Structure 1
Amino acid sequence: MEIYYVICRALSWGLLIGFFLGGFKLMAGRKEYTEKQVRASKLLLAKITGVVKYLTILTLILGLLWCVYFLILGCAVPGQAEYATNMSQLIVSVLTVISIIFAFLEFVRRTDDR
């Protein structure tokens, strides 16, 4: 756990420093892109978002399936109720992260459409 804590702390500092340095760079000036480069990046983002959408749907369906399984397991075998609850919580937390990533990509894609 100590190694995981150090990694999370280092990533947090890296994100904070990168965020503020990126903000300063953004305020300093913008790079101009050609229309061809803008179209190519929008097309790539649309393709990536499409793939991520289907992967998100797949993981949500699989998550629902396994959460129902663990619900039934917890009801049918009372000795396994705590295990089933822990597994369901783990599945839901992973699905939440995946859904947040998908929502962010959709937000970026729709913001670029304006």
Structure 2
Amino acid sequence: MNILFNLSLAISVGIIIGFIGGGIKSIIKKSYTKEKIDATKRLLDKISNILKYIVLFLLAQGLIWCTYFLILSIIDPSSSEYANNVSELIVAVLTVISIIFAFFEFLRRTDK
């Protein structure tokens, strides 16, 4: 548990430092060429297509496994608490993945 706490603390500090650094960097304006902007948009489109298929794959897997654990809890009521906890974990992970994908899509579409 101590390792998990230290890992969470290190990630939090890294996010804080990155947030401050990003704020400072956004103050300094850079000019980009039209070719560089177009290349970045093409790259974002490719990444978006890849992310779309990964997210759909993970959502399909989540549906299959949540259905399995639902059936497991119906067939074996003694393991219903375990099945419920695992299903909640699957849904939580898929929610985070979907939010990340939605945010990436939002950023991509607001650039157009």
Q: TM-score range by the shorter chain?
A: over 0.9
> 2: distance between equivalents of 1:6 and 1:106?
32
Return the offset for 1:42: 0.3
For residue 26 of structure 2, what is the aligned residue in structure 1? 26
For residue 57 of structure 2, what is the aligned residue in structure 1? 58
Unpaired runs of 5+ residues, structure 1, are none
Pairwise mapping of residues 1-114 of structure 1 onto structure 2 (< 5 A)?
Answer: 1-27=1-27, 29-113=28-112
AA partner of residue 96 (structure 1)? T
Runs ≥4 residues deviating over 3 A: none
> 1: distance between equivalents of 2:93 and 2:25?
34
> 1: distance between equivalents of 2:25 and 2:60?
42
Q: Kindly, what percent of the aligned residue pairs are identical?
A: 52
> 1: distance between equivalents of 2:68 and 2:81?
14
- The alignment of Structure 1 onto Structure 2 pairs a total of residues equal to 112
AA partner of residue 13 (structure 1)? V
Deviations 1:18-49 (A, max 9, x none): 2012212211x211111001000000000000
Deviations 1:39-62 (A, max 9, x none): 000000000001101111111111
Unpaired runs of 5+ residues, structure 2, are none
